[in-house]
Structure 1
């Protein structure tokens, strides 16, 4: 790293992870699950910034209901966070990051903002991209990391890569909404586009200044919530009433699409947002028949399936391209390639619960 000031990791852990139902649920979301390794997604995320020569202790922004579980998981890997900022309710990523920026002890320090439930296979490439971005960050730029696309994915937003600012760093020409299939194919064929992976690097004061310009009501609500919140040991609980006054918006809409000095560092680092059971199958080690079999499961004469159970024994025979996930009293069965439709199940469950 070119700058002696250490980076403060800001890890966003407020998501419900319902796309991986039935194993991931609001009370035990995917970031708290071990899906790709023995460690949970949260533990793996924290460990990417474990080098104390480069990184400060992390700031974790999380759901109040998950506080004990998060502290227990971090303790198991010997991590003590600088603070655990406990959102009283979800207001999307921009207000969550505002809380972390306000909690930072050094407003001129770089903040590395990361979701807690993504996969990064090549941590070395990730650190190299951070190193590339730091000179611009220290000069007041807001930097995002553009993931090298390898297929016409319709589930991600895209970044149109603009002119080079420095070696390996480009101005963001524009952000592109999640496209339809044809638009994604055209962007992939054209080149010059990257997936928006939702990972950012900027100084705390730069972000707060951008909020003051582009989302002043959000900044004011976050400031009031922090000023009148409760602090006990390492836990910070922002004032619920004041935080509820904040507009609910993502950092992309609230800041990144409006600010002038926004840059992107394109990087290939084996990234996945692990946003579906299909995505888990794609990054997992398969057997000779293309199957991924985890937990209490048996697969016979079947191909290209993902079978996972943390409870009842599940056996499949003579089927192809199937996803079967059993957890507790719930079992999910659907064709491989349609795991985004899990949201239809969770929506139906919400309706039935009313």
Structure 2
């Protein structure tokens, strides 16, 4: 908790000052009323909670949100900012600046991941090795993703930090919903097909979007990193120095 806010509420309020719509929240069926009440307290409850009958990792969860976004916005390919509800960020202004700086890259079709500038050789996080500089429409600094690497040992982590070429893998992303679905179709069509089938069987229920349980349970489990980000040619890492930590 931060003050009187839960971590979910803090995550949503962190976007104050960034032009965006009410969030789409993906949660387990068992947590639906807790989540709905937290959104209601922020005046952000707009039939925007997607219920997963069971967890299938991040690639399918983000696919459900992307499919919902493209259904809602038939006239454009909306930008999606993907955030976890269990992150702590000390410098919220720096966070918002990084999000704004990433927008031109996502507008241009890139899949942006936010890399945390490391201040110590942390062995509990995965890392992203940056590649060549990617020029953008502004003075923003972003790089091609050269490699995603698993949680390292201490000596390796020390070498990563000393090199200046590595960032912590935050698990935060920005891209157009349709671009994510295109890349998912290219690399994991089985995941996309299962999610499309689950969304075809949606049962609207008050403020909840209840997907087809049988279809979603048949979906393979996979992270967005393995399913898309490590495979796409359009991955870009945007450095973020905002006092970030993964509480969860």
TM value normalised by structure 1: 0.66
Q: Distance in 2 between matches of 1:49 and 1:131?
A: 11
Q: Distance in 2 between matches of 1:41 and 1:60?
A: 13
**Structure (1 or 2) with the greater strand fraction:** 1
**Residue 246 of structure 1 aligns with which residue?**
219
Q: 1:206-258 CA deviation, whole Å, 9 max, x = no partner?
A: 00000100000000000000101211233111111100111101000000000
**Residue 44 of structure 2 aligns with which residue?**
79
User: 2:27 aligned with 1:62, yes or no?
Assistant: yes
> Aligned in 2, Cα 1:82/1:57: closer, same or farther, shift over 3 Å?
farther
RMSD over equivalenced CA pairs, Å: 1.3
User: 2:10 aligned with 1:41, yes or no?
Assistant: no
From 205, 229, 245, the equivalent of 1:256 is 229
Asked if 2 retains the 8 angstrom alpha-carbon contact of 1:158 and 1:196, the reply is: yes
TM value normalised by structure 2: 0.93
Q: Distance in 2 between matches of 1:117 and 1:81?
A: 22
From 204, 207, 230, the equivalent of 2:180 is 207
From 156, 165, 176, the equivalent of 1:192 is 165
Q: After the TM superposition, which of the residue ranges 248-257 and 175-184 deviates more from structure 2?
A: 175-184
User: 2:82 aligned with 1:133, yes or no?
Assistant: no
User: Based on CA coordinates, which of the two structures has the bigger radius of gyration?
Assistant: 1
* Structure 1 gap ranges (5+): 1-33, 276-354
- Matched residue SS, 2:134: strand
Q: 1:6-60 CA deviation, whole Å, 9 max, x = no partner?
A: xxxxxxxxxxxxxxxxxxxxxxxxxxxx2x4321101100111244x60111100
**Residue 89 of structure 1 aligns with which residue?**
54
Asked if 2 retains the 8 angstrom alpha-carbon contact of 1:226 and 1:239, the reply is: yes
Q: Distance in 2 between matches of 1:214 and 1:161?
A: 22
Q: Distance in 2 between matches of 1:85 and 1:78?
A: 17
- Matched residue SS, 2:66: helix
Moved over 4 A (4+): none
From 128, 139, 147, the equivalent of 1:159 is 128
Asked if 2 retains the 8 angstrom alpha-carbon contact of 1:221 and 1:245, the reply is: yes
- Matched residue SS, 1:68: helix
The Cα of 1:100 is off from its aligned counterpart by 0.2
- Matched residue SS, 2:169: strand
Q: Distance in 2 between matches of 1:110 and 1:131?
A: 12
**Structure (1 or 2) with the greater helix fraction:** 2
Q: 1:167-200 CA deviation, whole Å, 9 max, x = no partner?
A: 3111111111111111111111112100000000
> Aligned in 2, Cα 1:130/1:82: closer, same or farther, shift over 3 Å?
farther
From 158, 162, 179, the equivalent of 2:152 is 179
Asked if 2 retains the 8 angstrom alpha-carbon contact of 1:60 and 1:81, the reply is: no
**Residue 246 of structure 2 aligns with which residue?**
273
- Matched residue SS, 2:94: helix
Q: Distance in 2 between matches of 1:43 and 1:133?
A: 23
Q: Distance in 2 between matches of 1:127 and 1:146?
A: 14
Q: Distance in 2 between matches of 1:256 and 1:73?
A: 31
